[in-house]
Amino acid sequence: MIVINLDVMMARRKMSLNELSERVGITIANLSILKTGKARAVRLSTLDAICQALDCQPGDILEYRPAE
């Protein structure tokens, strides 16, 4: 299972969903879907933009957890 730790990185960078949305250029609704883990996929261009905005690596946002 892939877990998206977007909320953790946003908290570390003290960035709101609104601010990240503006910097990345995607809607708050789509960011919210990513943040809550309900996204079925993420484009590499979106991941790139998020990493640029949060000054982090993809591995800081995406985490693999084996199924239990």
Separation of alpha carbons 64 and 37, rounded Å: 13
DSSP class of residue 14? T
The model's pLDDT over 9-61, given as tens digits with 9 standing for 90+, comes to: 999 999 999 999 999 999 999 999 999 989 999 999 999 999 999 999 999 99
Structural domains of the chain, ranges and CATH numbers in brackets: 2-64 (1.10.260.40)
pTM: predicted TM-score of the whole model, two decimal places:
0.89
